[in-house]
Amino acid sequence: MTGLVYKEWKQNRWFILSMIPCGFAPLLALLLLREQITSADNIALRIGGLIAGFLAAGALQLLVLRGDDHKLWGYWITATADGYKGFLRVKYEMIFGMIVLFLFSLQFVDMGYCAVAADMKSKDIGSISSIALLLGFTQILFRAIDIPFTYRFGSKKGSIIKLICMVTLAIILGAVLIFSTEHIDHIIDTAKDLFRENSSLILSVGLVLCLALYYLSYRITCRLYLKGVEQYDS
Amino acid sequence: MTAKKENAKRLGIFLLIVSLFVLLYFVFIKPMNESNTVFFIIYYCLFSFSPAIASLITRAVTKEGFRDMKLHLNLSGNLKWYLLAFGLPLIFFSVRILLPVIISGHSSWLRGFTFQKVLATVFMLASLTAVQSIGLLGEELGWRGYMNQKMEPLFGTFVTCLIGGIVWSLWHLPMDMAGWLDGECTLSYSLMMCGGRLLLLTCFGTFLMWLTKKTDSVFPAVVAHFMFNQSQGAWGELLAQGNIPENADLGMISSVFEYATMILLVVVFIGLLLREKKKSPKTA
């Protein structure tokens, strides 16, 4: 396993370390758009920067999946002592680690910004850490979807198939919404009531569900990997 | 130089660096109170990572290298210990805080502890542990990942737990004394807080040491440390939702549970540590 960790580090260390500068995105947004700053906490600008950082970090996390979709590599790693399961586990752990590093950097920078801004304006500045946390879990969920597609179909084909699946899902959802316009208000009201009464439980279950789905994604990828290897390089 | 002397030298350098950070905190205590920025730099950027920084500097200075930092997750076969690291602090504080309230007949104080709220709290703690506990690597890499490893061959397991716990709690000294230095509380109150922390951390340290040795990784200790910090706050938050009178005092029963849980923790994990030491093959 140490060998696999070493391989991933040598191959992807810049992508891993790039998670740290991604955490500076809210600060960068403030610097770039400093003329539009109106209040001390600049919450809207910082959230904008946070989303930009989230997208950049997501793209970089996907880049670590490239380069492994070759038949020869697939056969070779399957024949090693750790096997393809060990390889996939290290990959999943690494991507999870990248998300954690991004989140840590983001929250740390935000804490520093709040401290400096509070000193300058002599009042407490709102933190965006809780929004960052939610985005972090969204990122875990997205990666849980991305990785199986990449290893089953290869990185290029996988992203196209994923896009097709997403569009199809969006169309189906849209159709369901259109055909149930009579009930839509009732559904929204019920959902609102449910969330108002159990918001903390729903939120915490949702977060744990993201983690569970990430693990499930690993198990699914393990099942699909060898099928995917047969299709690589073709 | 013999291995023991080499270990003692490394441990000495490590402790010297850590104490310099403690000194730094004391020096900057006043500016830290006046400025959020200074507090952020001294506390969050330097002090909270000081054990890890000290271990890395010591490794570099003594040319020890950076092997055996126990940074592998070692998940396979150790998942149950990770779960224990998550669950035990929660159970520990439940017994310490909630049981005396129930036994003394004040269950009405626990109005905040509905099934739904407790479940939400546990799930929230579980998800936060997965993504936010990493910050505590700044401590665990130094204490369990370095200091204990150097201490054990010198002093043996039992004394390592004792001295390790004392060093760990002395590192918190600036935080405990800050109130007195600011004039917000009396010296006796600050010293009482120091004593309480010393006892608690020494006891809890045995569990963290056992976890690290059992899994050969610092990450379970990171999880347990995070849960140790968070579960107190989480239970406290739920307690605050009940209608507890301001001058509430459970008296003797509260102290009994406070000390009994700590003693139980120490006895169990010292016992396990010693048993495993007996089992392990002796090296020359």
Q: Which of B131, B132, B219, B237 to mutate to test binding with chain A, by most A CBs within 10 Å of its CB? A: B131
Q: What are B118-159's pLDDT values in tens digits?
A: 999 999 999 999 999 999 999 999 999 999 999 999 999 999
Amino acid, res. B205: G
Whole-number Å distance between alpha carbons of B3 and B40: 40
**B-chain residues within 8 Å CB-CB of A108?**
44
Confidence of residue B1 (pLDDT cuts 50, 70, 90): low
Of B37, B11, B50, B13, give the one whose Cα is nearest residue B173.
B50
Residue A99 has pLDDT above 80, yes or no: yes
Length of chain B: 284
pLDDT at A127: 87
Three-point CA angle A101, A102, A105, nearest 5°: 85
**B-chain residues within 8 Å CB-CB of A205?**
120, 123
Whole-number Å distance between alpha carbons of A226 and A84: 8
> Which residue does chain B place closest to A204, by CA atoms?
B124
Who's near B62: CB < 8 A, 6+ residues apart?
A: B6, B9, B10, B13
Whole-number Å distance between alpha carbons of B73 and B86: 15
Contact B116 A211 (CB under 8 A): no
**B-chain residues within 8 Å CB-CB of A198?**
116
User: Which ipTM value was assigned to this complex?
Assistant: 0.89
Alpha helices by DSSP H, listed for chain B, are: 3-27, 29-34, 36-39, 50-61, 79-93, 99-103, 115-132, 137-142, 148-155, 157-171, 173-181, 187-215, 219-240, 252-279
Mean pLDDT calculated for residue range B48-66: 94
Residue A43 has pLDDT above 70, yes or no: yes
Mean pLDDT calculated for residue range A22-38: 87
Whole-number Å distance between alpha carbons of A70 and A227: 13
> Which residue does chain B place closest to A123, by CA atoms?
B36
DSSP B96: I
> Which residue does chain A place closest to B68, by CA atoms?
A2
* Min Cα separation A208/chain B (Å): 5
Average pLDDT along chain B: 91
Count of domains forming chain A: 1
Residue A71 has pLDDT above 50, yes or no: yes
Distances (CA, A) of A119 to A151, B29, B32: 49, 16, 11
More confident residue, B64 or B2: B64
Of A63, A66, A46, give the one whose Cα is nearest residue A98.
A63
pLDDT at A118: 87
Whole-number Å distance between alpha carbons of A18 and A101: 10
Whole-number Å distance between alpha carbons of A104 and B265: 32
Q: Is A99 on the interface with B (CB under 8 A)?
A: yes
DSSP per residue, A5-31: HHHHHHHHHHHHHTHHHHTTHHHHHHH
Residue A6 has pLDDT above 60, yes or no: yes
Of A78, A77, A90, give the one whose Cα is nearest residue A2.
A90
Q: What are B162-201's pLDDT values in tens digits?
A: 999 999 999 999 998 988 888 888 999 999 989 989 999 9
Q: What's the distance, CA A171 to chain centroid?
A: 23
Confidence of residue B284 (pLDDT cuts 50, 70, 90): very low
Mean pLDDT calculated for residue range A204-233: 93
Instruction: Say whether A80 sits in a helix, a strand or coil.
Output: coil
Average pLDDT along chain A: 89
Residue A195 has pLDDT above 90, yes or no: no
Helix axis angle, A181-231 relative to A129-153, nearest 10°? 50
**Residue in the block written with tokens 């179909």:** A153
DSSP per residue, B20-71: HHHHHHHHTHHHHHH-HHHHIIIIIIIGGGHHHHHHHHHHHHTT--S-----
Mean pLDDT calculated for residue range B256-267: 89
Confidence of residue A211 (pLDDT cuts 50, 70, 90): very high
More confident residue, A92 or A66: A92
Whole-number Å distance between alpha carbons of B206 and A70: 48
Whole-number Å distance between alpha carbons of B25 and B174: 7
pLDDT at B240: 86
Three-point CA angle B120, B126, B129, nearest 5°: 135
Contact B120 A204 (CB under 8 A): yes
Find the radius of gyration of the CA atoms of chain A. Answer: 21
Domain boundaries, chain B: 74-279
Tokens of A55: 């997208």
Instruction: Determine if residue B216 is left, alpha or beta; phi over 0 gives left, psi from -120 to 50 gives alpha, anything else beta.
Output: left
Mean pLDDT calculated for residue range B88-104: 89
More confident residue, A124 or B31: B31
* Min Cα separation A15/chain B (Å): 19
Q: What are B192-241's pLDDT values in tens digits?
A: 989 989 999 999 999 999 999 999 999 999 999 999 999 999 998 888 88
pLDDT at A109: 93
pTM of the full predicted structure? 0.91
pLDDT at B212: 95
More confident residue, A177 or B281: A177
Tokens of A139: 């990122």
> Which residue does chain A place closest to B33, by CA atoms?
A119
Contact B120 A136 (CB under 8 A): no
Distances (CA, A) of B247 to A180, B243, B244, B250, B251: 57, 12, 8, 10, 12
Q: What phi and psi, each to the nearest 5 degrees, are found at residue A80? A: -75, 170
Who's near A50: CB < 8 A, 6+ residues apart?
A: A25, A26, A106, A128, A131, A132, A135
Range scoring the smallest mean pLDDT among A103-112, B250-259, B262-271:
B250-259
Find the radius of gyration of the CA atoms of chain B. Answer: 20
SS (H, E, C) A101-165: HHHHHHHHHHHHHHHHHHHHHCCCCCCCHHHHHHHHHHHHHHHHHHHHHHHHHCHHHHHHHHHHH
What is the interface size between A and B, counted as CB pairs within 8 Å? Answer: 71
Q: For residue A202, what are the domain limits?
A: 2-231
Residue A36 has pLDDT above 80, yes or no: no
